[in-house]
Structure 1
């Protein structure tokens, strides 16, 4: 177990970046209780991985990688698959916040959320990171893909969005 000062550093970083855990959990669970369980599971995995954290890398990139891996593993689990519809939570206004009281923009955002919800877990993670303005390099690091693969997947997803929406 890391020394107490590391625990304080971990707690501070987790609090500073709590939005990542909340966004990932909300992207993979519809039910608030399941979302809270997944967020807790992510926090536990982050704590277990904390001793291996390399401060030379950005904390948020490391955190996203672990959070998305935990969420994707949860989706792939047979027991979780039966309990979750794996939707995209429309309350995540941080990803695409329409202008207030703009019905057309709100409709477009709902369509985007439905599109994201329909994607496979890896593509959903890719879109989540892309919409969070992460660089191709960051996305590649987080998802364990090459930058070229990330660029290709994003290009294909953007084309599908244009076609389907």
Structure 2
């Protein structure tokens, strides 16, 4: 979900597992293990975004075209909408991407705030601003259906 291509997704997953393994000794039990694990993984993804953005400007396709050809007409439209959503999300900065992905994964405002190290209110405000920005990107880029 955080990367464009299957290969990049697998690389990021491997990097997350490696960072979790290295960081396990630092888990102090101040939060739920799942929250700590998600925080380490999210930080790894953000770091990976920064590193990856330098080397992957030329490989910024989503790789969904292969799937679109195999699916039925209605599935093709859904895939196209998802592709447009991801293209629009990739226009956001790293923190905004993290906010949207946490939101899409069903995290509450409080959980989003905990994962990003901000207050629930701040998470709520930032998320609303990010959603508005995402809507504007979708309109400007013509990603609307």
TM-score, length of structure 2 as denominator length: 0.71
Q: For 1:46-85, what per-residue CA distance to the aligned partner results, in whole angstroms no more than 9, with x for missing partners?
A: 11221232446333322221111112112323xx433234
1-structure distance, mates of 2:33, 2:61: 24
Moved over 6 A (4+): none
Residues 54/151 of structure 1: CA separation in 2 closer, same or farther (3 Å cut): same
Who is 2:9 aligned against? 35
Q: What CA RMSD, in Å, does the superposition of the two structures yield over aligned residues? A: 2.8
Q: For 1:135-161, what per-residue CA distance to the aligned partner results, in whole angstroms no more than 9, with x for missing partners?
A: 111111111122122111111122223
* Contact 1:136 1:151 (8 Å CA) reproduced: yes
Whether 1:134 aligns to 2:90 is no
1-structure distance, mates of 2:76, 2:83: 10
Residues 45/130 of structure 1: CA separation in 2 closer, same or farther (3 Å cut): same
TM-score, length of structure 1 as denominator length: 0.64
User: How is 1:6-21 mapped onto 2 (pairs within 5 angstroms)?
Assistant: none
Residues 88/48 of structure 1: CA separation in 2 closer, same or farther (3 Å cut): farther
Whether 1:125 aligns to 2:101 is no
Segments of structure 1 that go 5 or more residues without pairing to the other structure are 1-22, 92-99
Who is 1:152 aligned against? 125
Q: For 1:11-55, what per-residue CA distance to the aligned partner results, in whole angstroms no more than 9, with x for missing partners?
A: xxxxxxxxxxxx4xxx135360x4333222211111122123244
2-structure distance, mates of 1:141, 1:88: 32
Segments of structure 2 that go 5 or more residues without pairing to the other structure are 65-72
2-structure distance, mates of 1:131, 1:108: 15
The number of aligned residues is 129
Residues 90/44 of structure 1: CA separation in 2 closer, same or farther (3 Å cut): same
2-structure distance, mates of 1:58, 1:142: 11
Residues 82/159 of structure 1: CA separation in 2 closer, same or farther (3 Å cut): closer
Who is 2:53 aligned against? 81
